Amino acid sequence: MMLSFFDQFMSSTHLGIPLMVLALILPWVLLPAPSPRWLNNRLITLQSWFINRFTQQLLLPMNMAGHKWAAIFASLMLFLITLNMLGLLPYTFTPTTQLSLNLGFAIPLWLATVLIGLRNQPTAALGHLLPEGTPALLIPTLIIIETVSLLIRPLALGVRLTANLTAGHLLIQLIATAAFVLLPIMPAVAIMTASILFLLTLLEIAVAMIQAYVFVLLLSLYLQENI
């Protein structure tokens, strides 16, 4: 029974086509295309307002050098939110529950921020590895600790997103299974369990949006340190 709970996270194939590929392509199909008309419809207007507000809040503490990343961060934010939200639908596959995919997003972007810092301000970038005023005896130890903390940043990004979405999906499936089993035995308890499931689904919708925002926000903080 426990194996069936984790079957939803397996990347299966259909007609020889991996579902991972289909799940990654689908969000871009659902997003509305910009219209050349002067008056857009409500969906495009809402999308534009959301992107503008998000970009303003994200790039507010950054200098002008970090504003070049606005399109990357906004696109990544929309992409992750769409993937997370589509994964809450029944009989769908959630690519962001795969650690390999999340690390594929996190490692290149984190590495780009580090390389930008080493290219533009190498002294300041390397200075983060050794706090000012450190005793001489602690210098080797602190350099090792700061280096390890720097290298695990992309791993923390990927694991955080994977763990939160995986835990939410498992909890939803467990409570849904309990409600289905209890329905013929104790209908009242099953109805209460179904109401809990509804509230949990609303919570998972919020988690799906918050985790995408946190992923992009941490990347922007890493960029801010290096520019």
Indicate the range of 34-38, 50-54, 81-85, 124-128 predicted with least confidence.
34-38
Taking CA atoms, 8 is separated from 46, 94, 106, 181, in Å, by: 32, 8, 23, 20
Two tokens, residue 164: 């939160």
Two tokens, residue 89: 């639908």
> Predicted confidence band at 111 (pLDDT cuts at 50, 70, 90)?
very high
Taking CA atoms, 180 is separated from 2, 7, 53, 61, 146, in Å, by: 16, 19, 42, 49, 50
> Predicted confidence band at 2 (pLDDT cuts at 50, 70, 90)?
very low
For residue 87, which of 102, 100, 97 has the smallest C-alpha distance? 97
- The sign of the dihedral angle between the CA atoms of 203, 204, 209, 213 is positive
**In the chain, where are the structural domains located?**
7-226
Percentage of residues in the chain with pLDDT exceeding 90?
Answer: 13
Query: Please, how many CA atoms are within 13 Å of residue 136, restricted to the half-sphere of its CB?
Result: 0
Kindly give, in sequence order, each residue whose CB lies less than 8 Å from that of residue 81, ignoring residues fewer than 6 positions away.
Answer: 208, 209, 212
Two tokens, residue 65: 């050098």
pLDDT score of 116 more than 50:
yes
- Per-residue pLDDT tens over the stretch 55-69: 888 777 777 777 888
